[in-house]
Amino acid sequence: MTGSHGQHGAAMGPGAGELIAVVGAGLVACGYLLAARRLRRRGDTWSPWRDVAFGTGAAGVVWAAVGPLPGGPFTAHMGRHLLVGMAAPLLLVLARPLTLALRSLSPGTARRWLLALAHSRPAGWLVFPPLAALLDVGGLWVLYRTRLFAGMGHEPWLHALVHAHVLAAGLLFAFTVCRLDPVRRRWGLTVRGTTLLAAGAAHAALAKTLYATAPPGTSFTAGDLHAGSQLMYYGGDLVEAALAAVVAASWYRAAGRRQRRRASADWAYRGCARPADSGFLGR
Amino acid sequence: MSTPAHPYTAPGTGREPRRSMVVCGVIGAAVTAALDEIVFHQILHWHHFYDRSTPGVGLLSDGLLHTAELLALVAGFFLYADLRRRRALAPAHALAGLFLGAGAFQLIDGIVDHKLLRLHQVRYGVDVTPYDWAWNLAGLVLLGVGGALAVRAARRSRARSVA
């Protein structure tokens, strides 16, 4: 056994964990699309790109659970890890699921509960970006630098648990860094940017140590180990750049709104009408 | 964050030369870092993904540098777009900043990363001296061009404000 936990699915058919992932992702995606349809029928605008992002993210989770992935056992594991822990969470978070839920639920118990949960104190702690980063990247250090990774290959339930944690932590991290949904405490650009920088550095450093030293208790071939750690390094880069672009784009939009507000306040103060044709105003 | 005194000033008068220079300096440094990584790490394989002799601190600082370069590139482009949107971009200062940032990064990489921290060398298995000279002189030339452009840009804007 080389710790190639990913192969037990192929050998024995989908296990309980895979089944839960597929059914769960399917149900959640259906719920999202139905809620978005409800909003549009009511006359609200909801960008179709958010539907696409959410559907693709859910499909990524399904693919990671049952789909074939190229490369040796470690490379395939790393591909799965990238999909479940980074790419899919970013896509799911971009679709603003909490905003959609709050807007599509009719006023009543369910909506009140969700709002209470989003504004609760523990939720406020969880969305503190450094804590989310610690749960996400810190969890990876524990996974690859203790015997947990080797143990995961022997115990299907441990394998399912680890991947559930990777998905949950990835979602939390993307959620707090992007800050697209309304939550109790909204952290500023500096905290989120610094957190992204630190988490990215820790991720890159972990990928480089994996290139040199396999997780304890495993024996992958050198080629597999190198391909897997390079996938982690450059794949991580891609998602980090995408996260940074989301953060920067939201800053850009907010700055534009501030400029327009200041400009119109200024013109009101001078007692003039706003010039309609000033291209610099944007919309 | 500095903002123009009046947002409706005519194009060209609300320029922010210092901010233009800093933003493009960030882009220049990040582009040089990315070029280094793509050309020398991935295409030529001159220095490697991981040098086994590197100590832990070096590894972390390398990861930090790499991530910072990535984030700086993204942030730089959005800040640049904001300058353009506000018509606050001073093109001559921006170009000078681009060269200054690129040169500063090249020189710091050549001296701090290669020599002081010894993260990696330009090339292995050969006498590294000519490569080091080429590397650092290229940085100096970029810095020199940036400096000359900055002086010219400052002189021009002073002439314009007097006129």
How do residues B99-120 score in pLDDT, each as one tens digit? 999 999 888 887 777 767 666 6
Q: Shortest CB distance from A280 goes to which of B3, B77, B87? A: B87
DSSP assigned state of B106: H
- Please indicate if any CB of chain B lies within 8 Å of the CB of A190: no
Q: Mind telling me how many Å the CA of A241 is from chain B's nearest CA? A: 6
Percentage of chain B lying above the pLDDT 70 cut:
75
With residues binned 3-state (H G I as helix, E B as strand, rest as coil), the percentages for chain A, rounded to 5, are 75, 0, 25
Average pLDDT, chain B: 80
The residue ranking higher by pLDDT, B146 or A15, is B146
What's the whole-number mean pLDDT along residues B70-97?
Answer: 93
Would you call A262 and B3 a contact, using CB atoms and an 8 Å cutoff?
yes
Residue A186 CA to residue A202 CA, distance in Å, equals: 24
Mutant choice from A177, A203, A259 vs B, greatest count of B C-beta within 10 A:
A259
SS3 track for A235-262: HHHHHHHHHHHHHHHHHHHHHHHHHHHH
Would you call B75 and A278 a contact, using CB atoms and an 8 Å cutoff?
no
Would you call B49 and A202 a contact, using CB atoms and an 8 Å cutoff?
no
Would you call B63 and A200 a contact, using CB atoms and an 8 Å cutoff?
yes
Q: Could you tell me how many CB contacts below 8 A there are between chain A and chain B?
A: 86
Give the dihedral sign, CA A206/A207/A212/A216.
positive
Residues of A in contact with B82 (CB under 8 A): 252, 255
Q: Mind telling me how many Å the CA of A10 is from chain B's nearest CA? A: 32
* Residue count (chain A): 283
pLDDT single digits (tens) A69-112: 888 899 999 999 999 999 999 999 999 999 999 999 888 888 99
Residue A14 is predicted with a pLDDT of 64
Residues of A in contact with B70 (CB under 8 A): 200, 237, 240-241, 244
**Structural element, H or E, at residue A224:** helix A222-269
Residue B45 is predicted with a pLDDT of 66
- Please indicate if any CB of chain B lies within 8 Å of the CB of A113: no
Q: Are A18 and A66 in contact (CB under 8 A)?
A: yes
- Please indicate if any CB of chain B lies within 8 Å of the CB of A27: no
Residue A217 is predicted with a pLDDT of 85
B57 pLDDT more than 80: no
Going by C-alpha positions, the residue among A107, A110, A97 that lies closest to residue A35 is A97
Interface of B with A (CB under 8 A): 3, 6-8, 49-50, 52, 59-60, 62-64, 66-68, 70-71, 73-75, 77-78, 81-82, 85-87
B78 pLDDT more than 80: yes
What's the whole-number mean pLDDT along residues B121-142?
Answer: 80
**Structural element, H or E, at residue A17:** helix A16-41
Going by C-alpha positions, the residue among B40, B81, B106 that lies closest to residue A255 is B81
Residue A55 CA to residue A59 CA, distance in Å, equals: 6
- Please indicate if any CB of chain B lies within 8 Å of the CB of A109: no
Residue B58 CA to residue A217 CA, distance in Å, equals: 26
Residue B100 CA to residue B150 CA, distance in Å, equals: 9
Would you call B85 and A278 a contact, using CB atoms and an 8 Å cutoff?
no
Structure pTM? 0.83
Would you call B85 and A262 a contact, using CB atoms and an 8 Å cutoff?
no
Phi, psi of A79 (to 5 degrees): -60, -40
The C-alpha angle with vertex B58 and arms to A130 and A148, in degrees rounded to 5, equals 55
Local confidence pLDDT in tens for the 283 residues of chain A: 333 444 444 444 567 778 888 999 999 999 999 999 999 999 999 999 999 999 999 999 999 988 888 888 999 999 999 999 999 999 999 999 999 999 998 888 889 999 998 888 888 899 999 999 999 999 999 999 998 988 887 888 888 899 999 999 999 999 999 999 888 788 899 999 999 999 999 999 899 889 888 898 888 898 999 999 989 998 998 999 999 999 999 999 999 999 888 888 877 777 665 555 444 444 3
